[in-house]
Amino acid sequence: MPDAMWTIKGREFVHCNCDYGCPCQFNGRPTHGGCDAVLAVDIEEGHHGNTPLGGLRIAAIATWPGAIHEGHGQVVPVVDERATPEQRQSLLRIMSGEDTEPGATVFQVFSTTWETVHEPVFAPIELEIEVDGRMARLHVPGLIEARGEPIKNPVTGAAHRARIDLPQGFEYSVAEVGRGWATTSGPIAHRLENSHAHFAPLHMTERGVVR
């Protein structure tokens, strides 16, 4: 059983190098062989044990040489610099899959695939996410610059709307699909252009996604 009960509720922005829709969401292999990604979460409400987490943000830069489940991944965890020492520890425990039932959340599942976990970065995280509008902006000074927007119809130029519905998923229930651009630096340097992004409400506990 997990050592501490926790909950986070908010919104997420995830952007990777796969084609729109991302085969990984359907247990397929990454479009280009490996996975390069950035993600961010705006926590509106939450706690870890008695430690409140509402109003804070987290992010990460990740890479895997092949499919995620094959391992050998690397990650740079990023935690809101506004977090107190107790909040930093709580967020890092959640992000590293601790205090979580095996297989219950994306954090715990991904934690089993890391070969290298770089030192966490504590920095300001500027983050805007509009789930229904498929819009996002993520800025971590000197580390991440990313944005998300809707996919455009190639004929009319109108915004195209598509969703991914995962009734038994470990990350979200329903995500809006869009596209994104990102540049990262530091231990994991990415340059992602016009590739998959998704935007989703996030509500999970140490037992999994709240439906």
Tens of pLDDT, residue by residue over 80-138, are 999 999 999 999 999 999 999 999 999 999 999 999 999 999 999 999 999 999 999 99
What pLDDT, on a 0 to 100 scale, did the predictor assign at position 4?
A: 76
- Domain-located, residue 1: no
pLDDT at 192 over 80: yes
- pTM assigned to the model: 0.96
Percent with pLDDT over 70 in the chain = 100
Domain that holds residue 199: 6-209
Per-residue model confidence (pLDDT) at position 64: 98
pLDDT of residue 112: 98
**Residue range 180-209: average pLDDT?**
98
In a domain, residue 67? The reply is yes
Percent residues over pLDDT 90 in the chain = 98
Q: What is the pLDDT of residue 206?
A: 97
| Average pLDDT for 63-81 | 98
How many domains are there within the chain? 1
Quick check: is 98 in a domain? yes
3-state SS, one letter per residue, for the chain: CCCCCEEEEEEEEEEECCCCCCHHHHCCCCCCCCEEEEEEEEEEEEEECCEECCCCEEEEEEEECCCHHHCCEEEEEEEECCCCHHHHHHHHHHHCCCCCCCCCCHHHHHHCCEEEECCCEEECCEEEEECCCCEEEEEECCCEEEEEECEECCCCCCEECCEEECCCCCCCCEEEEEEEEEEECCCCCCEEEEEEEEEEEEEEECCEECC
Split at pLDDT 50, 70, 90, the class of 1 is low
* In-domain check, residue 148: yes
- Residue 175 domain-assigned? yes
Say if 162 falls within a structural domain: yes
